Amino acid sequence: MDNKRLILAMVLSVAILAVFQWVMPHPKPHQTAKQVEASSTTATPPGQVPGAVQDASGTNPAAIAQAPQADVRIPIDAPRVHGSINLVGGRLDDLVLKDYHETVKADSPLVRVLEPGSEKQPNFIQFGWSAAGGVAVPDSRTVWKADGDALSPGHPLTLSWDNGAGVVFRIIYSIDDNYMFGVDQQVDNHTAAPISVFPWSRVSRLYAPVDASGGFLVGGDEGAIGIFDGRLQQKDYKSLVKDADAHGGVAFSAGDTGGWAGINDKYWLTALLPDSPVPMTGSFRHIDGEGEHAAGTYQVDFTTQSPLSAAPGATARFLSHAFAGAKEVHLLDTYQSQLHVADFWKAVDFGWFAFLTRPIFFVLDWLNTVFGNFGLALMGFTLIVKALFFPLANKQFRSMSKMKLIAPKVAAVRERFKDDPARQQQEMLQVYRTEKINPVSGCLPMLVQIPVFWCLYKVLYGTIEMRHAPFFGWIHDLSAPDPTNLFNLFGLLPFDPTHYVAALHIGVWPIILGGTMFAMQRLNPPPPDPMQARIFMLMPVIFAYFMAAQPAGLVIYYCWNNLLTAVQQWFIQKRVAGEGKTVQSAPAKG
């Protein structure tokens, strides 16, 4: 009976999948490819300065957010980014990532990580000096002079400004093939007296992202972030404002050498990495704002603790790097070892179990290079975990073969205590114990699954590699919830129920999950307590609903894992039952 139901549940799941695959309209692959190509070419006009007035005919929806107007800019062109340097203030305030779109749609705008103050989401990097003794230093309104017409890998750009009193300031920007800027701050002293300057760098953000929040059970790691003396320091936007209010605008401040700090998004990072081995002070600040920028300014900055001095005729230099881009795990690791940045990998939130989560990520990432799909990688990973626990299963199988020898005893116990399930369970375990066999593997192996599940959640939810990672059918993003919805009959009804009640959402995969859970429960005896038994019956529904809001990859992993476990358990039970029957019938006759 139970087996019939299990098979029915599985057949139904597959049927739903098949029907759905057939009903759902999905974009033709070659068409999508063309769109990607088109958007990437139109989004990166070669040699065009985004600051220049744009052609009105450029109405391609893929066009990036309007670039700032009416200031003087030098274009940045690198393999994976394009943007411009603002000569007013010498800021890095315009940068778009060529490889990442805002949504899963191939014609959606490219992701913009740096944006000038004139735009909706200002986020920019600026370098400067403060000085004692009346030396005029450049400020945010200073118009710098550039020595070239573009910044690209292998072609650095020098910005210079003469303060008119014998001191020349220079910022030499360089960029690599990915997301790292090199910054060389120089001060030429042409005066007759020595001068002292404090080079500084800062990341400023004039808005707080509305969607800055964590998933289930985790706080967001978005906001100010940094490594100071080997320790990770984080402040989300709310506590940044609160702590800054309480301490005169400075939410956090610490001295350090070799650390880094910046403003963290879930997938993107804007960070400062001072190179020069001098003691720095890093601070997280919030400055109140009004009007258009009512959110105020969230700022992370570094400044040298002691001044750099330049004798007459000499040059004071300060070297640093600035990162603006996507937090790709391998890339962060490469920068960490190349630039000797302490714990740069911690920009990605791997959680408390990072020691386990990171290896799991690397296995998944490797499997992805093998299968070419993260969904298949997840399934492969599940198989590997099952294989690792094969010795346990094997032991189980051998134990199974002994089961038939004691089947008469078990049957006798079953018969004797059939009106008292608790007593029956107890007596059966006693039989197993005296015969030194046991049909289940125990709680410890089961509990081991929980951390693995948690790590998978962190990987799926938090790493950019999983962002927009497609699977088959209607899953175009494993890191996002299943987009289908039961409550509008999977798109057959022309309305969006979540528009009215946000919680009215449950996709196909979560429903399949509920089905597999239901099937799993059929394989196990119901709990003796009737109240608990009723709650057990409800669990598949509750869990399907809960998992509907989680990354689709996690739901798919769970379905696959349940299916494998159920098939294994069903097989064992079938074998045991079959063998039990043949032996059982023999002594009954005799």
Partner 1 sequence: MTPLARMLDGAVLVYQWTLSPLLGGRCRFHPSCSCYAREAIAAHGAIRGAGLAGWRILRCNPWCDGGYDPVPGTGRD
* Contacts to partner 1 by CB under 8 A: 392, 395-396, 425-426, 429-430, 432-434, 436, 438-447, 449-450, 517, 520-521, 523-524, 532, 535-536, 539, 543, 562, 565, 569
Q: Which is nearer to partner 1, 210 or 444 (CB)?
A: 444
Residue 528 DSSP one-character state? S
| Smallest separation, CB 426 to partner 1 (Å) | 4
226 and 341 Cβ atoms separated by less than 8 Å: no
Instruction: Give the three-class secondary structure for 586.
Output: helix
Q: State the Cα–Cα distance between residues 97 and 65, nearest whole angstrom.
A: 12
- Of 365 and 435, nearer to partner 1 (C-beta) is 435
Query: Closest distance between partner 1 and the C-beta of residue 542, in Å?
Result: 8
**137 backbone dihedrals φ, ψ, rounded to 5°:** -115, 155
Q: Nearest distance from residue 387's CB to partner 1, in Å?
A: 16
213 or 434: CB nearest partner 1: 434
Between 336 and 565, whose beta carbon lies closer to partner 1? 565
Tell me the closest approach of the beta carbon of residue 514 to partner 1, in angstroms: 11
The token pair at 525 is 């005896």
Query: H or E element: which one contains 475?
Result: none
**Shortest Å, Cβ 431 to partner 1:** 9
Query: For partner 1, which is the closer residue by CB, 167 or 460?
Result: 460
CB of 547 to partner 1, least distance (A): 10
Query: Which residue, 191 or 425, has its beta carbon nearer to partner 1?
Result: 425
Residue (169 or 432) nearer to partner 1, CB? 432
* Residues written for the chain: 590
- To partner 1, the closest distance from the beta carbon of 215 in angstroms equals 18
Question: Are the C-beta atoms of 203 and 125 separated by less than 8 Å?
Answer: yes
In contact, 282 and 256? CB cutoff 8 Å: yes
* Shortest Å distance, C-beta 545 to partner 1: 13
Beta carbon nearer to partner 1, 198 or 509: 509
Contact partners, residue 253, CB within 8 Å, separation at least 6:
281, 282, 283, 284
What's the rounded Cα separation, in Å, for the pair 227 and 133? 33
- Strands 123-131 and 73-77, sheet pairing: unpaired
Tokens of 13: 């799941």
Nearer to partner 1, 232 or 393 (CB): 393
Contacts of residue 327, Cβ cutoff 8 Å, sequence gap at least 6: 267, 268, 269, 347, 348, 463, 464
> 468, 101 in Cβ contact below 8 A?
yes
- Least distance in angstroms from the C-beta of 561 to partner 1: 10
User: How many other C-beta atoms are found inside a 10 Å radius of the C-beta of residue 140?
Assistant: 13
CA separation for the pair 438, 400 (Å, rounded): 8
Indicate the residue among 41 and 394 with the shorter CB distance to partner 1: 394
Distance CA 253, CA 226 (A): 10
What is the closest distance, in whole angstroms, from the C-beta atom of residue 298 to partner 1 in the complex?
37
Rg for the chain, CA atoms, rounded: 31
CA-based torsion, 390, 395, 401, 407: positive or negative: negative
